[in-house]
Amino acid sequence: MSPHLRKTLVVAGHGMVGHRFVQAAVERGLTETYDLVVVGDEPRAAYDRVALTSFFEVGADELSFLPTGRYDDPRVRLVTGTEVEGFDPETQTVLLSGGEVIPYDELVLATGAAPFVPPIPGHDLDGCFVYRTIEDLEAIREAARTATVGAVIGGGLLGLEAANALAQLGLQTHVVEMAPRLMAVQVDDAGGATLTRHIEQLGLTVHTGAATERVLGEERVTGLALKDTGPIDAEIVVFSAGIRPRDKLARGAGLELAERGGVLVDERCRTSDEHVWAIGECAAPGGRMYGLVAPGYAMAEVVVDALLGGPGSFTGADMSTKLKLMGVDVASFGDAFAVTEGALELVFSDAVAGVYKKLVVSGDGRQLLGGILVGDASAYGVLRPMVASGIELPDNPEELILPTGRGAAGVGLPDEAQVCSCNDVTKAQIVAAAAAGTTTRAGSTCGSCKAQTKKIIEDYFVSQGKVVDTSLCEHFALTRQELFDVVAVHGYTRFDDIVEAHGTGRGCDVCKPAIASILATQLNGHVLEGGTRTLQDTNDAYLANIQRNGTYSVVPRIAGGEITPEGLIVIGEVAKEFDLYTKITGGQRIDLLGARMEQLPAIWRRLVDAGFESGHAYGKSLRTVKSCVGSTWCRYGVQDSTALAIELEHRYRGLRSPHKIKAGVSGCARECAEARSKDFGVIATEKGWNLYVAGNGGSSPVHARLLASDLDRETLIRYIDRFLMYYVRTADRLQRTAPWVESLAGGLDRVREVVVDDALGLGSELEAAMAKHVDTYFDEWKATLDDPEKLVRFVSFVNAPDTPDPNISFTTERGQVQPAESDGPVSLGSTIPVGAPR
């Protein structure tokens, strides 16, 4: 085809919907006839705005839809950081901010919406923000570094997300809502009250029925003046009082707009100009705008279809919402406010558990029309498709919202039920994809249908007689958790008994260390006891970390990073005497490297005599509890973080677990101990301690999330005891806390139920298990030195115990030893006398 026969399609706006439009255009072959030019004014390519709040945790790259910044299809040109300034329907050209003029055959407006900032006095002071783009969040994060109190104006869906973000940034947070309840559009008064209680429990302050009269401050924000009540202090104010369609371009070109704003389009999303289309939040099909992504995606598909000559049309959308805010489930779907004539309401409410559930059913009780779920939205995945598909209700519809056990899980969905509303995927499509070994888009946008999707796929595999393979290795067809239970139930103490009764062969480097760890947790014995030594990875087997040349490192525990001058001197002397390389670790302690295996007992003798103990740098066990100087020294500290860190490190030291465990305690919200990058992290507040769980650094960093706030010391320790024991018992081999929490059905909410609410009644059992660990702890290095049986292993050669292995050699760098590269096995020749075996 000669180039001039090709037509040009310009897309104004590269947000979620603009991106989906391009994807659909490429997938469905629109690019066979059109060259696409996509122009976005944000500095980066489209990203997942729905997941915007996770920017603080995962960063911009993770959110991006186009990490490379370009589409694979060469017929699509993407221009970022450039505004479409206007277009002329007469000449069919668009004008870009750089001055470029692009002629178009078709123009698609996908400019989205902008946050509405009410024109109250002071709304433009420094410290006022909106919550829409990555740049907004970067600015808020920057401002939060020096602030302690923040306020969000607007208690709707987005306002609560913003408030969540402020709280996560460590700010004391207010939510100011003009309506008498939170999320007024989605939930009723009773649901709103339940939601408010949850949010207040998390330490936020909620003001409902509160109109903001002005933002206080001279140049910078200092607070808010609220009508009827007194002023509140705040150094950061985020406006989240609704959105307005960005319809400026259409207005400038003289196209028709909807009464309440938005580009008026027909059911094919065509504007009043036949070559101009509008989709997403800037569009108002039939005069109504939709502030959710799913309708926008549907509009994108409709326009691609229309340009290909297809029949698609947009006839309204499901406005159901489900979100998880600060761990609180909220869902609203269908006719949530029972406006249908004759509709009945069924309500289940449990104030203690903080659960409110309402179903709206038709007058004859046969059909589900809608509902509201607060505190537990696990039934949403089943209920919402029931509304959409009109399936007949069971005889006792209240069963659908009663607490689990009898709940909704058993209700079969019809094949045509739409499971994912964001991407319009039905149950039948999910099953078909599972059968073909592919996947659908279900779950990839807001994520609220993930649990339901997973269940459908699992049910499908089970119906096919297939089991999802979760075996540990070729020797055990069990998961680590199942093995843990098997060992506990039978009271096994030896690998041989376990592999003979439940496994095949003689095990391997996967199952042996896993079983060694399980035995260590349950028996609290020495890791080198009896037959368990040969199960251990080399690090555990020699109670030290192996290094690249076969030597080991020695890391004594320095709890909380606190060390006396005498302690430092001993470490220095040991390093000097044994010629070890010393380095301050990333975990606030000191690593001594380059020890030959046969030197380890002598090194530890010196350290143990000076009061040091094993730091378990080699074990899948507690590593360090990092601390900051806290209120003892620091002018900002509000609690003694060092003392708490030391106490926690002493409490959990030696606990064998599925993977290593790291912790941190910071003395105030400035977070110098990086507690939120740890498996459990504690941050001091004026009132006590906030507990965060399931974070880590490493290759896929995850920020720990708030489990409970303002705890006193006893409660804090009780929660950590439960959390760790629950993890140790149920996590997979080499699974750290973050992926473990992720893998639990219900995620962090599940953890909170078990740890904080004690929903399973497991609390005291978990605490007792931890108490046993604490009571039976002993230093495994000291115990090794006291036991000649264990010491016999620490020899270079069985027939020449003190002859250094000739394969180990060192060079010197910056005044210390370093391993030398090896070119091949080294022989001493026959000259070295070897002892005759005794």
Partner 1 sequence: MTWGVPVCRLDQIEVEGGVAALVDGAAVAIFRTHDGNVYAMSNYDPWSKASVLARGILGTRGDIPFVASPMHKQAFDLRTGQCLDDAAVRVPTYDVRVTDGMVHVGGPRQENP
Ligand X SMILES: Cc1cc2nc3c(=O)[nH]c(=O)nc-3n(C[C@H](O)[C@H](O)[C@H](O)COP(=O)(O)OP(=O)(O)OC[C@H]3O[C@@H](n4cnc5c(N)ncnc54)[C@H](O)[C@@H]3O)c2cc1C
Residues forming the site for partner 1 (CB under 8 A) = 474-475, 496, 505-509, 512-513, 531, 533-538, 541-542, 546, 548-550, 792, 796-800, 803, 805-808, 821-825, 827-832, 834, 836-838
Can residue 556 be called a binding residue for ligand SRM (CB under 6 A)? no
> Could you say which DSSP state residue 600 is in?
H
d(CA 204, CA 279): 37
Q: What is the SS3 string spanning 476-523?
A: ECCCHHHHHHHHHHHCCCCHHHHHHHHCCCCCCCCHHHHHHHHHHHHH
Q: Which is nearer to ligand SF4, 379 or 668 (CB)?
A: 668
The item of ligand FES, partner 1, ligand SRM, none sharing an interface with residue 736, based on CB under 5 to 8 Å by kind, is ligand SRM
Mark out the alpha helices in 505-611 (DSSP H runs).
Answer: 511-523, 538-541, 565-578, 600-609
Terminal Cα-to-Cα distance of the chain (whole angstroms): 89
The item of ligand SF4, partner 1, ligand FES, none sharing an interface with residue 4, based on CB under 5 to 8 Å by kind, is none
What x-and-dash track marks residues 588-617 binding ligand SRM by CB under 6 A? -x-x-------------------------x
Please, are residues 299 and 285 in contact by the beta-carbon 8 Å criterion?
yes
Can residue 418 be called a binding residue for ligand FES (CB under 6 A)? no
Q: For residue 57, what are the contacts with CB-CB under 8 A and spacing of at least 6?
A: 702, 703
The item of ligand SRM, ligand FES, partner 1, none sharing an interface with residue 146, based on CB under 5 to 8 Å by kind, is none
Give the pairing of strands 236-239 and 128-130. Answer: parallel
Q: Is 610 left (phi over 0), alpha (psi -120 to 50) or beta?
A: alpha
Can residue 816 be called a binding residue for ligand SRM (CB under 6 A)? no
d(CA 770, CA 724): 8
d(CA 779, CA 645): 19
Give the H or E element holding residue 16: helix 16-27
The item of ligand FES, ligand SF4, partner 1, none sharing an interface with residue 438, based on CB under 5 to 8 Å by kind, is none
Half-sphere exposure of 281 (CA within 13 A, CB side): 19
Region 439-468 residues binding ligand FES, contact defined as CB under 6 A: 442-449
Vertex 304 angle, CA 300 and 306, to 5°:
115
Q: Which is nearer to ligand SF4, 527 or 668 (CB)?
A: 668
Q: Which stretch binds ligand FES (CB under 6 A): 221-229, 415-423, 528-536, 806-814?
A: 415-423
Give the H or E element holding residue 196: helix 189-201
Can residue 656 be called a binding residue for ligand SRM (CB under 6 A)? no
The item of ligand SRM, ligand SF4, partner 1, none sharing an interface with residue 666, based on CB under 5 to 8 Å by kind, is ligand SF4
The item of ligand FES, ligand X, partner 1, none sharing an interface with residue 421, based on CB under 5 to 8 Å by kind, is ligand FES
d(CA 708, CA 716): 9
Can residue 14 be called a binding residue for ligand SRM (CB under 6 A)? no
Give the H or E element holding residue 197: helix 189-201
Total of chain residues touching ligand FES, rule CB under 6 A: 12
Q: What is the SS3 string spanning 491-502?
A: CCCCHHHHHHHH
The item of ligand SF4, ligand FES, ligand SRM, none sharing an interface with residue 660, based on CB under 5 to 8 Å by kind, is ligand SRM
Q: Which is nearer to ligand SF4, 553 or 631 (CB)?
A: 631
> Could you say which DSSP state residue 378 is in?
T
* Residue 629 CB, nearest approach to ligand SF4 (Å): 5
Please give the full DSSP string across 272-324, using - where no structure is assigned.
Answer: SSTTEEE-GGGEEETT----SHHHHHHHHHHHHHHHTT-----------EEEE
> Could you say which DSSP state residue 676 is in?
G
- Residue 321 token pair: 């919402």
- Strand, helix or coil for residue 436: helix
Can residue 381 be called a binding residue for ligand SF4 (CB under 6 A)? no
Work out the burial of residue 275: count CB atoms within 10 Å of its CB; fewer than 13 is exposed, 13-18 middle, 19 or more buried: middle
- Strand, helix or coil for residue 399: helix
Can residue 666 be called a binding residue for ligand FES (CB under 6 A)? no
The item of ligand SF4, ligand SRM, ligand FES, none sharing an interface with residue 641, based on CB under 5 to 8 Å by kind, is ligand SF4
* Residue 743 CB, nearest approach to ligand X (Å): 23
Q: What is the SS3 string spanning 679-708?
A: CEEEEECCCCEEEEECCECCCCCECCEEEE
What x-and-dash track marks residues 599-638 binding ligand SF4 by CB under 6 A? -----------------------------xxx---x-xx-
* Residue 593 CB, nearest approach to partner 1 (Å): 14
The item of partner 1, ligand FES, ligand SRM, none sharing an interface with residue 822, based on CB under 5 to 8 Å by kind, is partner 1
Q: Which is nearer to ligand FES, 421 or 641 (CB)?
A: 421
Can residue 697 be called a binding residue for ligand SRM (CB under 6 A)? yes
- Residue 204 token pair: 């936020």
Q: Which is nearer to ligand SRM, 221 or 595 (CB)?
A: 595
Q: Which is nearer to partner 1, 25 or 535 (CB)?
A: 535
Can residue 44 be called a binding residue for ligand SRM (CB under 6 A)? no
Can residue 422 be called a binding residue for ligand FES (CB under 6 A)? yes
* Residue 303 CB, nearest approach to ligand X (Å): 13
* Residue 132 CB, nearest approach to ligand FES (Å): 19
What x-and-dash track marks residues 658-687 binding ligand SF4 by CB under 6 A? --------xxx-xxx---------------
Can residue 144 be called a binding residue for ligand SF4 (CB under 6 A)? no
CB atoms closer than 10 angstroms to residue 153 = 27
The item of partner 1, ligand SF4, ligand SRM, none sharing an interface with residue 636, based on CB under 5 to 8 Å by kind, is ligand SF4
Q: Which is nearer to partner 1, 83 or 805 (CB)?
A: 805
d(CA 737, CA 679): 6
Can residue 640 be called a binding residue for ligand SF4 (CB under 6 A)? no
What Cα–Cα distance (Å) separates residue 737 from each residue in 318, 423, 512, 747?
36, 31, 22, 11
- Residue 372 token pair: 């509201």
Q: For residue 813, what are the contacts with CB-CB under 8 A and spacing of at least 6?
A: none
Q: Which is nearer to ligand SRM, 71 or 723 (CB)?
A: 723
Give the pairing of strands 84-88 and 236-239. Answer: unpaired
Q: Which is nearer to partner 1, 93 or 547 (CB)?
A: 547
Residue matched to tokens 């199942």: 482
Q: Which is nearer to ligand SF4, 582 or 685 (CB)?
A: 685
Can residue 308 be called a binding residue for ligand SF4 (CB under 6 A)? no
The item of ligand SF4, partner 1, ligand SRM, none sharing an interface with residue 591, based on CB under 5 to 8 Å by kind, is ligand SRM
Q: Which residue is nearest to ligand SRM (CB)?
A: 698
Which residues are near ligand SF4 by CB under 6 A? 628-630, 634, 636-637, 641, 666-668, 670-672
Interaction site with ligand SRM (CB under 6 A): 545, 547, 553, 555, 583, 585-587, 589, 591, 617, 623-624, 660, 662, 696-699, 736
Contact residues toward ligand FES (CB under 6 A) are 420-423, 442-449
